[in-house]
Amino acid sequence: MNIGQAATRSGLSAKMIRYYESIGLLQPAHRSEAGYRHYQPQDLHTLAFIKRSRDLGFSLEEVGRLLTLWQDRQRASADVKALARDHIEALNRKIEELTSLRDTLQELAHSCHGDDRPDCPILKDLEKGCCG
């Protein structure tokens, strides 16, 4: 199948498929005499793996490691689990950061009267971050 068909079937854009090839996550596609990419069913399987990994928030570097482990039938599942646990820890840190940001902004929004007066605690707080 051509890149458009592979894109449709994988749920990725043609641009992303080319990018994944360029960074080595996907093996370069076979080319026709005219230079068009042709993908095999195994390529779609790899693209689905990449897409699902990215949907779960793994970085491109982590996806590369996961692909290596996936393709190594002699791998230890402990290696895969360790990578997943590291990712979970990173997600938990990000959740804590986002929760803190939300709570702070919610508190600021609550303290703002939201009327015609120029006084605004939200802007005052943002101003504190400027210029020492």
CB 65 within 8 A of CB 84: no
CATH of residue 68: 1.10.1660.10
Q: Are residues 9 and 69 in the same domain?
A: yes
The range of the structural domain enclosing residue 16 comes to: 1-75
For the cut 60, the answer to whether the pLDDT of residue 9 exceeds it is yes
Q: Are residues 63 and 90 in the same domain?
A: no
* 93, containing H or E segment: helix 77-111
Query: Among candidates 85, 84, 63, 65, which has minimal Cα distance to 75?
Result: 65
- Structure letter (DSSP) for residue 2: -
What is d(CA 95, CA 16) in angstroms, rounded to the nearest whole number?
A: 27
pLDDT in tens, 86-101: 999 999 999 999 999 9
Indicate the pTM of the whole model: 0.82
* 91, containing H or E segment: helix 77-111
Look at residues 58, 75, 92 and tell me which one is the last residue of a structural domain.
75
